[in-house]
Structure 1
Amino acid sequence: MSAPIVVHGLSPTGGRSVAVNGQIVGLAHTDRDLVEFLRRAGLDDAWDLLDDPHWTEWRGGRAHRYEAA
């Protein structure tokens, strides 16, 4: 089973698409953006969830990276 939060790979224009329970909630350019999207989705403890593999799956790139190298 996949984690409820999925941070997808880099988009061609920068940033990473974020999905919560299969619904796209935004395009994050920083961890702060990501946490705000999660807060709006009702996850007030979002900072604690970013590195928990049971909650967050980082796809197509290293965690916490939002720009091409």
Structure 2
Amino acid sequence: MTSAPIVVHPPLGTGGRRVAARGRILGLAHNDADVVEFLRRAGLEDAEMLLDDPAWVKWRGGRAHYYEAA
């Protein structure tokens, strides 16, 4: 895999982070549980185990697991 198929975008000014899988926006997450739910709906049953795997998830801008307003 050359790049992570899941991208958690930088925190927005209003809080939350957009989550995308292969370029398709899955939703706006306000915590890790939201990200896991979006990924489960996209078909990844073991999503919680992927959040810290850079082969699967790229955290852009800000710290990983941080969702507060930028």
Q: Separation in 2 of the partners of 1:67 and 1:14? A: 5
Aligned residue number for residue 26 of structure 1: 27
Residue identity (%): 71
User: Which 4+ runs in 1 deviate beyond 2 A?
Assistant: none
CA RMSD of aligned residues (A): 1.1
Q: Is the 8 A contact 2:11 2:17 kept in 1?
A: yes
Q: With CA pairs under 8 Å and 6+ residues apart, which has the higher RCO, 1 or 2?
A: 2
Q: CA deviation at 1:68?
A: 3.7
Q: How many residues align?
A: 69
Q: Separation in 2 of the partners of 1:62 and 1:26? A: 19
Stretches of structure 2 that go unaligned for 5 or more consecutive residues are none
- Tell me the TM-score normalized by structure 2: 0.93
Aligned residue number for residue 13 of structure 2: 12
Aligned residue number for residue 52 of structure 2: 51
By percentage of residues, which structure has more strand? Answer: 1
Q: CA deviation at 1:51?
A: 0.2
